[in-house]
Chains A and B, each alone.
Chain A
Amino acid sequence: MHIPDGFVDVPTAVATGAVSLGVVACAVRKTSKNLGERTIPLLGATAAFIFAAQMLNFPVAGGTSGHFLGAILAVALLGPWAASIVMTVVLVVQALGMADGGVTAIGANVFNMGVLAVFAGFGLFYLLKKVLPRTRSGYLISFAVASWVSVILASAAASLELAISGTVPLSVALPAMVSVHMIIGLGEAVIATALVAAVLAARPDLVKSFDLPLETVRRAPGQLGMRLSGRARFWSFVVGALVVALALAVFVSPFASGSPDGLERVAADKGFETAATEQPVWRFSPLGDYQLPGLGNEKGATAVAGLVGTVVLFALVVLVGRVLGRRRVAAAPQTAGARPIPPPGRPSDRSGTS
């Protein structure tokens, strides 16, 4: 997903660079205030971990492979601002040290993976946490969905940047990139969730974004910390499957065609050049007022319909989830100051250094 030099044109590179610079500068200021505490070594360790993990390629069916992104993992552990700095550091080192990602495309890459993935993912994560039952499973599902979406968002943004720069045709590149990354994102979600679950089980004090009572993570002896309960697993599977299916509907189906050389037909469709003058097929399509470059109105309409359908179904699933969640006994509220056993070397809360 790391865009090389020359793939984004100068205006795009500069625009994304400016946005990234602004956000990261803000992040630097925000985290610098806390530099005296344990931040730096943990930021470095997280950065190193994400850097190492990004070198892990996991095979996706069909000979392609994807790699780990880690944006939401960083968010869960460090909060969005520190996470964005960590991702930026990783990307810069990759660009300069491994020639992975162009140095002129750093603005775009940081925007996709260090700003958009981080903050949009964080927003979704936060929202889902509020909406889902406040249990460990609810937390993990929120995390998983946010991770998955973050990967898709990053890849969609990359395709958009590439298309705006004229390097790839949006109508083909966007669905292709997004559908591949929907699968890669599943890998990311599963791995990252397993990770966060393990960290939660061992050191819940480390997970900055975990704001639930500690009882929710204490497991009965004999249970592996990483397994969701049977019910939660079932429902997260259902949710996952639904969302995948619907996202495919939203992004890919508008471009699918019944005939064998469907792609060629899409390409040959004069709709691209004359889209501006065509009447919208669906009169109430909000996309009639603006157009994504390269997309005809009918496709936009399909996309919107799919999106609405997804939202409706998702709401249904969430409702179901809440009903289930109410069956769990709510733990007594605890103050945020409670911490489990830290290993030797951990500054005592009492001394006030943390």
Chain B
Amino acid sequence: MARRPYTVIEGGPLLSERPPAVEAAGLRFSYPDGTEVLRGVDFVVEQGESVAIIGPNGAGKSTLLLHLNGILRGTGDLRILGLPLEAKNLREIRRRVGVVFQDPEDQLFLTSVAQDVAFGPANMGLDRDEIETRVREALAAVGMQGFEDRPAHHLSFGQKKRVATATVLAMRPEVLVLDEPSSNLDPKARRHLIDILQDLPVTKIIVTHDLPVAYELCESALILSEGRIVADGPIEAILLDDMLLAAHNLELPYGFAPPSSLARKRARRL
């Protein structure tokens, strides 16, 4: 697979000196009963990139996602931030790679918002003051300050999604992986979430069906279909290729006309 051109983060070292955020080669995974889900996945995500992973249902996106922090482990080569997936690396990988799952209900399981957001930092062994600072910052980053003592089930869905994101942000990950971040959100909540994500200077890997969100947040896209990467390139190239999308049961929303890449870059600089 040809490597995509990468962006240079101002002030930081040249990306070629930093290991890729994700480097997969020949990744395969089957469930114990024999169902093969990933059939040789190859791709690279450099640090600082924002990549969308799109594809039809059943392609293996969720399964792939679970490999990114070592929950599942398949055969083949997979390195996260240069670290191979071994038991001794798991703790560090999970600290530096934050995964926000699709259903916030699964991620809010303690008795109050503050508890849930503090869970990650607490597991990192930070001291009380540091934890409190992080909780405050994370909640502020998602616009949920003041909700510390609320039980999670008192929140609306959009609020829960934001708190779920905060639970991961509190760990200050270098790589943020999101599974369908905009699903089930009303337009206002969706916009709010996009704004939050837009501002985060981390590597972003976004699994989504919401192609406009992918277009807005990501420069590159991967199409995962039937357990393999079938396309890997700049997002304009992928999204404007109707035939490619149709071949994998994808389509742009009706009436959606992606602005040209030039217009996007201009909008970004503003």
* Direct contact between the two chains A and B in their complex (CB within 8 A): yes
Shortest A21–chain B CB gap in Å is 26
Is the CB–CB distance between B31 and A341 below 8 Å? yes
Whether A347 is near chain B, meaning CB under 8 Å from some CB there, is yes
Residues of the B chain whose Cβ atoms lie less than 8 Å from the Cβ of A230:
none
Residues of A contacting B: mostly: loop
Is the CB–CB distance between A342 and B73 below 8 Å? no
Residues of B contacting A: mostly: loop
Is the CB–CB distance between B73 and A348 below 8 Å? yes
Residues of the B chain whose Cβ atoms lie less than 8 Å from the Cβ of A44:
109
CA distance A98 to B196 in the complex (A): 41
Residues of the B chain whose Cβ atoms lie less than 8 Å from the Cβ of A339:
32-33
Residues of the A chain whose Cβ atoms lie less than 8 Å from the Cβ of B35:
341
CA distance A153 to B132 in the complex (A): 50
Whether B50 is near chain A, meaning CB under 8 Å from some CB there, is no
Among A347, A348, A350, A351, the most chain B Cβ lie within 10 Å of the Cβ of A348
Residues of the A chain whose Cβ atoms lie less than 8 Å from the Cβ of B220:
none
Whether A35 is near chain B, meaning CB under 8 Å from some CB there, is no
Whether A316 is near chain B, meaning CB under 8 Å from some CB there, is no
Q: Which of the residues B32, B62, B109 comes within 8 Å of A345, measured between beta carbons? A: B62
CA distance A337 to B33 in the complex (A): 10
Whether B225 is near chain A, meaning CB under 8 Å from some CB there, is no
Is the CB–CB distance between A347 and B71 below 8 Å? yes
Is the CB–CB distance between B73 and A344 below 8 Å? no
Report the interface size for chain A: residues with CB under 8 A from the other chain.
Answer: 15
Interface string of B178-217 (1 = CB under 8 A from A): 0000000000000000000000000000000000000000
Whether B63 is near chain A, meaning CB under 8 Å from some CB there, is yes
Shortest A320–chain B CB gap in Å is 36
Q: Chain B: which residue is nearest A351 at the CB level?
A: B73
The count of A-to-B residue pairs whose CB atoms sit within 8 angstroms is 33
Whether A338 is near chain B, meaning CB under 8 Å from some CB there, is yes
Is the CB–CB distance between B32 and A344 below 8 Å? no
CA distance A287 to B98 in the complex (A): 67
Shortest B53–chain A CB gap in Å is 14
Q: Chain A: which residue is nearest B60 at the CB level?
A: A344
Is the CB–CB distance between B32 and A338 below 8 Å? yes
Whether B144 is near chain A, meaning CB under 8 Å from some CB there, is no
Among B32, B62, B66, the most chain A Cβ lie within 10 Å of the Cβ of B32
Whether B72 is near chain A, meaning CB under 8 Å from some CB there, is yes
CA distance A340 to B72 in the complex (A): 16
Shortest A351–chain B CB gap in Å is 4
Is the CB–CB distance between B72 and A347 below 8 Å? yes
Whether A264 is near chain B, meaning CB under 8 Å from some CB there, is no
Shortest A276–chain B CB gap in Å is 56
In A308-354, the 8 Å CB interface with B consists of 337-342, 344-345, 347-351
- A-B CB contact pairs (8 Å), 18 listed: A338-B32, A339-B33, A341-B33, A341-B35, A344-B62, A344-B63, A344-B66, A345-B71, A347-B71, A348-B32, A348-B73, A348-B74, A349-B32, A350-B32, A350-B73, A351-B70, A351-B72, A351-B73
Report, nearest first, the 6 A-B pairs whose CB atoms are least far apart: A351-B73, A344-B62, A339-B32, A349-B32, A341-B33, A348-B72
Residues of A bordering B, CB below 8 Å: 41, 44, 337-342, 344-345, 347-351
